[in-house]
């Protein structure tokens, strides 16, 4: 039984609290939050204790820490928890600063503790079936990957300002998905973006619509499209052309009803947002973490994977600014 | 080159005129219609002659006659044309009276001339692919067939009154489709029907909504559903459960566009009616007829097939009236 | 907080144990089973007690009883539990004998206790959205209903022999679904069936493939198709033609992946069986029961609904035997 | 009645011969080909004359010329035919050389004769419905366009060598489609490409897989993906995210049959190649040309449109070579 401390009692912390509790091999031992009341409320719901993050990290009875706090605290908590001998599952991104993330990577390496980064989409059953079919050779050799990833509605501009920008905050999931599907990092990143959904996002120095092209050493190509707004819901599709065919992962719909009238044939929209879409993925992610800790096997998504996605986000940010392709090896 | 006389210049006659003209192996030699002006107009469009039906049948230069006149004239024209040594393609149904149709069958047999009945749906490319997959054993042994066949809108009551009723006029296509797919006639027919779309259809002694169950000697079952009204267009689906899986033939849509908005994901409706849906089938039907005439091979849909569907329509009509299953062998 | 005793620790009992435990308003107080070991095992999983059914029914601290035992014990347990002042949720069917079920109905009426029958499909989110769209008038007035309900594989013949037959065991769900969608009982039932999947099922006096037509006083028609075997999984579809359009509830698929190759475009199969397909429905069913008990409002599926479906199963059974339609009023 | 001379009796010439013949407002007066036998054969099929191109252009009885010859002859024939006072419909691309195409544009302008370029996809009914929905405001303001355009199989390397390269030969259709949908030309073109399907295509200096990003002055973005090989057939999809939703044009399938087995749910592949997919578009294109000539209205696809697509192809070619975005205004 893995005793788990949860740092962060916000929306995503609540998702993890549920997964930790539901898992037969883990117990939610304590919850902390920068707003103590939030921790208390979530702790009451799950019948556990609210404590400070320091207390949780210092508690020798706690085996693992799940970090769901604000991004700027991730590295500090990762370092403190691994130094205290705990296994860590930390939400993405590792940090907004690549150098800070790399320093954290070094510090963790020194402790030898396992750290997993929460790229939950890798654990989505459909993306898993997609990857399995690819590995089984069902479409031959991969050639051209497309990732479509649209949010239903843009976040408040106040959030955008501290988010690190669309590439580090939103597309970072898609960078990791490309790495997951392609089983390799790209050589170059070419990005374009604009603030066409909300001019205030542009005024805040960010983009809300972007297209990124990745090229690989062996000639493969990937295209990632992001938009902060899709009126019809959360659009999460992946499509890979291979030498023998194509794989597509389609959207999950709200229900199975189709209506045919004089106006056309209408089915349900995609599920609204990530909580509805990826709930099974969060549960499977937690299971994978527990299993890796219990068996001492490598983390299925490593801290290195988290840094790699950050390098790609950094490259995309520079590519938009400099209006040219950026090589990953040139991202210091 | 087959010289063809077309009897009947109405809506369906015009469809055939086009198919006859477009086919490289046939020439549209003459057109007749009970309203001479109609024949003249259609003849002008296709650069051919308008003549009387008697003239056409008497003309030794004409090899084949396509009968697209009103149902009550079908048998007379079939008999006259075959007696004159011509091959015949006649629209469905053979006649509204089963005994008249059987007498016609005898008369034709005496001439030895080939007669094909225009069950055009057998020649639809998708139903053809469906039948081929079945024959190739792709779903194993057939067990349970469903045919859904809805018109977009009910005909005028004046038409209903002379149509012979839904079973002889509309479902007769589905009876033939069942025979085509099942490669056998059923043992019994159980039918229910009501006039729920338009009470005036009920007042005229007919139904506009019906469900018919066919049972086969070997235990197979088929269900046919008809409605005179589907607000979304012409609904033409077939579904067959077999021991190893299921085949479905879906609707043809008006176009390939899908729109996703906050109201849902909306695609095009089915094509509006039989002309749009079955145009390729009419062309393929005509090709099959020409080929059978030219090669002297049996007609792909025989006069017997036309009578068989009529027997089933008769059985269904009785079943609704008597509220009990009717055996085909009991339909005199 | 509702204290609940669970009678029956089999496959379906385990489903309910999970739903009772997961619900915030209910506690799983005790589990019984005719095989004490089964009860003990399930009780351990959920951290509760294994007791006898008599003990559970006699315990005044238990507010409600969920009956998931074998069908022949349903009525006895319903009567005992309601006599003991408990609310009851009982699995379908109420009993195989209609007269026994009616006697039970009388006994329950005398106690005034609420009894709900476990027609879980009414609580499926997609069927719920279907019903809501219908009630909102989105397809106008309902006219022609089709229910397709195929199991993935036939049960052992040993089960078939004690099941009461396909109509009482399997199609009873579809009879209830017809009542749910049509908001009324039919006037007549016409059924055909055969043992075409497995001759041993026929030797045991049952059918494995069936088509049933229901007619309603106002002219509406419903068709239900059942098969004990669909090689591609659990096929659960509903389709309703109305005056302004059609509603369809489609199958839930195993995943969202589509593969396009030279062999065609292939998507996932339907989910395998009822546990996968209806898990959310079981949870929603339990919530609805708890809410009805807590608020004292009428049960969303009444004992009368359970008896009504049994009447239809009885009528279908007779219709197959007598080869004629059976009126519901004639089923004593 | 428009008297038409057809230059070029190859595969695409044959498509046009059929459309010209089938149209009620045009007559196929003569056919020429660099291989006289080809012209003779096609002329015989359509009951017309084979002549030389010089004879056709010199014949005052010929009103319009359709140019379906090899690309290197397009401009010469356009100039000769317009100088002879004829209306012209010329296949794409205008020329492989941008400067030659621009010189041709000047020459045509001097004659005042109407010239249309054969971007047939603009006339596809589904793309037309797509454009209409966009213009009707059904998805609000366009933001992010994706065009997927994969051929079923790569052409012979001998063809690749004279084709002008993927961007001028294949993606030129998609450049025009982007212009058609976006109703504007982009500011910059960023292209990547590789020869991953067939190394011999790379050895010939071309790519077979490419992704191109277009950026627009107002912040809109478009992504075009091309591959010379899709094992499942001709993949022709368009998708546009707008402020209020998304439009998609999906693939046309070979038939309407779906098979469900233990292996999954399999539908038909997309139609094999452009002849199957775009036959209605070729017919509609010809109708639009005839109508524009007859009414003296502007050509629906102008020579300028043809040059504009060529500019984009030129920019993409340079972008791949120079590994940087290319502004359209910098393409001399």
Asked whether residue B299 is domain-assigned, the answer is no
Phi, psi of A203 (to 5 degrees): -60, -30
Asked whether residue D221 is domain-assigned, the answer is yes
Contact between residue C225 and residue B223 where contact means Cβ atoms under 8 Å apart: yes
Asked whether residue B241 is domain-assigned, the answer is yes
- Is D47 in the same domain as D140? no
Residue B332's pLDDT is 72
Contact between residue A328 and residue A311 where contact means Cβ atoms under 8 Å apart: yes
Would the pLDDT of A153 be above 80?
yes
CA C232 to CA C151: how far, in whole Å? 10
Residue B259: C-alpha distances to residues B268, D138, D247, D250 (Å): 9, 8, 5, 11
* Structural tokens at position C266: 């292939």
Beta bridge partners of D150: D227, D235
Smallest Cα distance from A253 to chain B, Å:
10
Backbone angle region of A123, left / alpha / beta, with phi > 0 → left and psi within -120 to 50 → alpha:
alpha
- Asked whether the beta carbons of residue D232 and residue C260 sit closer than 8 angstroms, the reply is yes
Q: What is the mean pLDDT of residues D40-63?
A: 96
CA B18 to CA C111: how far, in whole Å? 76
Among chain B, residues having any CB pair with chain C shorter than 8 Å are: 139-140, 143-144, 146, 148, 150, 188, 190, 192-197, 209-211, 213, 215, 218-221, 223, 225, 227, 229-232, 235, 241-246, 323-325
- Asked whether the beta carbons of residue B244 and residue D262 sit closer than 8 angstroms, the reply is yes
- Is C81 in the same domain as C182? no
Which subunits sit against D, judged by 3+ Cβ pairs under 8 A? A, B, C
- Asked whether the beta carbons of residue B245 and residue D257 sit closer than 8 angstroms, the reply is no
Residue B67: C-alpha distances to residues A258, B9, B57, B73 (Å): 41, 10, 11, 9
CA D99 to CA D95: how far, in whole Å? 9
- Is B271 in the same domain as B129? yes
Q: Please, which pLDDT band fits residue C38 given cuts at 50, 70 and 90?
A: very high
Contact between residue A128 and residue A285 where contact means Cβ atoms under 8 Å apart: no
Contact between residue C118 and residue C306 where contact means Cβ atoms under 8 Å apart: no
CA nearest to D46 within chain B: B24
ipTM of the modeled complex: 0.95
Residue C128: C-alpha distances to residues C119, C124, C131, C234, C305 (Å): 13, 6, 5, 19, 17
Q: Point out the domain boundary residue: C113, C146, C172.
A: C113
- For residue D34, count other CB atoms closer than 10 A to its CB: 15
Q: What is the mean pLDDT of residues C80-88?
A: 98
Would the pLDDT of C192 be above 80?
yes
Q: How far is CA D151 from the centre of its chain?
A: 14
* Structural tokens at position A328: 């990953």
Would the pLDDT of C22 be above 90?
no
CA A224 to CA A216: how far, in whole Å? 14
CB contacts < 8 A, C to D, total: 50
User: Percentages helix, strand, coil for chain C, rounded to the nearest 5?
Assistant: 45, 25, 30
- Asked whether the beta carbons of residue C139 and residue A246 sit closer than 8 angstroms, the reply is no
- Asked whether the beta carbons of residue B197 and residue C323 sit closer than 8 angstroms, the reply is no
- Is A176 in the same domain as A268? yes
Smallest Cα distance from D70 to chain B, Å:
30
Q: Please, which pLDDT band fits residue A269 given cuts at 50, 70 and 90?
A: very high
The parent domain of residue C88 ranges over 2-113
Among chain A, residues having any CB pair with chain C shorter than 8 Å are: 125-126, 129-130, 133, 138-139, 244-252, 254-262, 268
- Asked whether the beta carbons of residue A264 and residue B261 sit closer than 8 angstroms, the reply is no
CA B106 to CA B120: how far, in whole Å? 24
Digit-coded pLDDT (tens) for D258-288: 999 999 999 999 999 998 899 999 999 999 9
* Structural tokens at position D89: 């419909």
Query: Are β-strands A235-242 and A188-194 bridged in parallel, bridged antiparallel, or unpaired?
Result: unpaired
Residue by residue, pLDDT tens for chain B (332 residues) are: 999 999 999 999 999 999 999 898 999 999 999 999 999 999 999 999 999 999 999 999 999 999 999 999 999 999 999 999 999 999 999 999 999 999 999 999 999 999 999 999 999 999 999 999 999 999 999 999 999 999 999 999 999 999 999 999 999 999 999 999 999 999 999 999 999 999 999 999 999 999 999 999 999 999 999 999 999 999 999 999 999 999 999 999 999 999 999 999 999 999 999 988 999 999 999 999 999 999 999 999 999 999 999 999 999 999 999 999 999 999 97
List chain B residues with CB under 8 Å of D256. Answer: 126, 249-252
- Is B62 in the same domain as B155? no
Q: What is the mean pLDDT of residues D161-168?
A: 96
Q: Please, which pLDDT band fits residue C119 given cuts at 50, 70 and 90?
A: very high
Digit-coded pLDDT (tens) for C306-323: 999 999 999 999 999 999
Number of domains in chain C: 2
CA nearest to B254 within chain A: A264
Q: Which stretch of A22-26, C48-52, C93-97 has the lowest confidence by average pLDDT?
A: A22-26
The Cβ-side half-sphere exposure at C271, using a 13 Å CA radius, reads: 13
CA nearest to B266 within chain A: A266
Residue B213: C-alpha distances to residues B178, C235, C238, C246, D57 (Å): 11, 20, 18, 22, 67
CA end-to-end span of chain D: 41
SS3 A223: strand
Residue C175 maps to which CATH number?
3.30.360.10
Among chain A, residues having any CB pair with chain B shorter than 8 Å are: 230-232, 253, 259-270
DSSP assignment of A129-181: HHHHHHHTTTT-SEEEEEEEEE-SSPPPHHHHHHTT-HHHHTHHHHHHHHHHH
- Asked whether the beta carbons of residue D225 and residue A225 sit closer than 8 angstroms, the reply is no
- Is C186 in the same domain as C317? yes
Q: Point out the domain boundary residue: C68, C86, C113.
A: C113
Q: Please, which pLDDT band fits residue C220 given cuts at 50, 70 and 90?
A: very high
B101, B61, B151, B90: which is closest to B289 by C-alpha?
B90
- Is B52 in the same domain as B20? yes
Contact between residue B80 and residue B56 where contact means Cβ atoms under 8 Å apart: no
SS3 B329: helix
Asked whether residue A68 is domain-assigned, the answer is yes
C120, C131, C87: which is closest to C286 by C-alpha?
C120
Would the pLDDT of A332 be above 90?
no
Q: Please, which pLDDT band fits residue D113 given cuts at 50, 70 and 90?
A: very high
Smallest Cα distance from D233 to chain C, Å:
7
CA nearest to A24 within chain C: C45
Smallest Cα distance from C256 to chain D, Å:
12
CA A267 to CA A180: how far, in whole Å? 31
- Asked whether the beta carbons of residue B144 and residue C192 sit closer than 8 angstroms, the reply is no
Q: Any idea which residue has 């973490």 for tokens?
A: A289
List chain C residues with CB under 8 Å of B188. Answer: 323
List chain C residues with CB under 8 Å of B225. Answer: 144, 146, 223
Asked whether residue D50 is domain-assigned, the answer is yes
List chain B residues with CB under 8 Å of A268. Answer: 264-265
Residue D22's pLDDT is 87
Smallest Cα distance from C250 to chain D, Å:
13
Among chain B, residues having any CB pair with chain A shorter than 8 Å are: 230-232, 253, 259-270
List chain D residues with CB under 8 Å of C261. Answer: 231-232
Contact between residue C180 and residue C147 where contact means Cβ atoms under 8 Å apart: no
Contact between residue C60 and residue C3 where contact means Cβ atoms under 8 Å apart: no
CA D277 to CA D263: how far, in whole Å? 28
SS3 A267: strand
CA C61 to CA B40: how far, in whole Å? 91
CA C33 to CA C16: how far, in whole Å? 14
Backbone angle region of C221, left / alpha / beta, with phi > 0 → left and psi within -120 to 50 → alpha:
beta
Contact between residue B88 and residue B105 where contact means Cβ atoms under 8 Å apart: no
List chain C residues with CB under 8 Å of A258. Answer: 247-250
CA A3 to CA A15: how far, in whole Å? 17
Residue D277's pLDDT is 93
- Is A84 in the same domain as A131? no
SS3 D2: strand
CA A299 to CA A291: how far, in whole Å? 9
B50, B8, B4: which is closest to B26 by C-alpha?
B4
| CB-based burial label for A303 (10 Å; 0-12, 13-18, 19+) | buried
- Asked whether the beta carbons of residue B253 and residue A262 sit closer than 8 angstroms, the reply is no
Residue B322's pLDDT is 96
Would the pLDDT of D332 be above 90?
no
Determine the residue among C143, C245, C257 to mutate to test chain A binding: the one whose Cβ has the most chain A Cβ atoms within 10 Å.
C257
Residue D39 maps to which CATH number?
3.40.50.720
Digit-coded pLDDT (tens) for A277-313: 999 999 999 999 999 999 999 999 999 999 999 999 9
Q: Any idea which residue has 């890796």 for tokens?
A: A292
DSSP assignment of D216-274: -TTS-EEEEEEES--TTS-EEEEEEEETTEEEEE-PPBS-SEEEEETTEEEEPPBPSSH
Please tell me which of the candidates C133, C248, C261 has its beta carbon nearest to residue A245.
Answer: C261
* Average pLDDT value for chain D: 97
- Is C172 in the same domain as C34? no
Contact between residue C71 and residue C78 where contact means Cβ atoms under 8 Å apart: no
A29 CB contacts (<8 Å, ≥6 apart)?
A3, A4, A5, A48, A49, A56, A59, A61, A62
Would the pLDDT of C29 be above 80?
yes
- Is B96 in the same domain as B52? yes
Q: How far is CA C2 from the centre of its chain?
A: 23
Sheet arrangement for strand B87-90 = B49-50, B26-32, B2-7, B64-67, B87-90, B115-117
Which subunits sit against A, judged by 3+ Cβ pairs under 8 A? B, C, D
Digit-coded pLDDT (tens) for A49-79: 999 999 999 999 999 999 999 999 999 999 9
- Asked whether the beta carbons of residue A230 and residue D215 sit closer than 8 angstroms, the reply is no
Digit-coded pLDDT (tens) for C224-269: 999 999 999 999 999 999 999 999 999 999 999 999 999 999 999 9
Which subunits sit against C, judged by 3+ Cβ pairs under 8 A? A, B, D
Asked whether residue A300 is domain-assigned, the answer is no
List chain D residues with CB under 8 Å of B249. Answer: 256-258
Asked whether residue A206 is domain-assigned, the answer is yes
Q: Point out the domain boundary residue: A113, A147, A179.
A: A113
Asked whether residue C296 is domain-assigned, the answer is no
Would the pLDDT of A9 be above 80?
yes
Among chain D, residues having any CB pair with chain A shorter than 8 Å are: 139-140, 143-144, 146, 148, 150, 188, 190, 192-197, 209-211, 213, 215, 218-221, 223, 225, 227, 229-232, 235, 241-246, 323-325
List chain B residues with CB under 8 Å of D244. Answer: 261-262
- Is D55 in the same domain as D132? no
Residue B91 DSSP symbol: P
- Is B156 in the same domain as B253? yes
* Structural tokens at position A103: 């320093």
């Amino acid at each position: 039984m893995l005793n788990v401390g949860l740092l962060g009692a916000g929306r995503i912390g609540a998702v993890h609290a549920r997964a930790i509790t539901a898992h037969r091999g883990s117990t939610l031992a304590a919850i902390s939050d920068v707003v103590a009341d939030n921790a208390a409320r979530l702790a009451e719901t799950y019948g556990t204790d609210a404590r400070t993050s320091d207390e949780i990290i210092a508690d020798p009875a706690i085996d693992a820490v799940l970090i769901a706090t604000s991004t700027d605290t991730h590295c500090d908590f990762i370092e403190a928890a691994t130094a205290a001998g705990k296994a860590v599952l930390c939400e993405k991104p590792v940090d907004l600063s690549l150098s800070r993330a790399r320093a954290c990577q070094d510090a963790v390496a020194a402790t030898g503790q396992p750290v997993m980064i929460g790229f939950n989409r890798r654990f989505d059953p459909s993306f898993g079936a997609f990857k399995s079919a690819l590995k089984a050779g069902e479409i031959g050799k991969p050639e051209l990957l497309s990732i479509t990833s649209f949010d239903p509605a843009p976040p408040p501009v106040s959030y955008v300002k501290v988010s690190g920008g669309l590439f580090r905050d939103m597309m970072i999931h898609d960078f990791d998905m490309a790495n997951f599907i392609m089983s390799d990092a790209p050589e170059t990143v070419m990005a374009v973006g604009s603030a066409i959904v909300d001019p205030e996002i542009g005024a805040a120095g960010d983009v809300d619509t972007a297209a990124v092209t990745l090229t690989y050493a062996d000639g493969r190509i990937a295209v990632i499209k992001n938009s902060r707004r899709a009126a019809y819901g959360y659009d999460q599709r992946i499509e890979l052309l291979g030498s023998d065919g194509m794989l597509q992962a389609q959207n999950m719909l709200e229900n199975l009803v189709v209506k045919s009238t004089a106006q056309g044939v209408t089915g349900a929209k995609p599920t609204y947002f990530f909580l509805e879409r990826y709930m099974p993925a969060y549960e499977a992610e937690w299971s994978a973490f527990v299993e890796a800790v219990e068996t001492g096997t490598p983390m299925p998504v490593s801290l290195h994977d988290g840094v790699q996605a950050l390098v790609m986000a950094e490259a995309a940010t520079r590519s938009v600014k400099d209006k040219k392709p950026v090589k990953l090896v040139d991202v210091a």
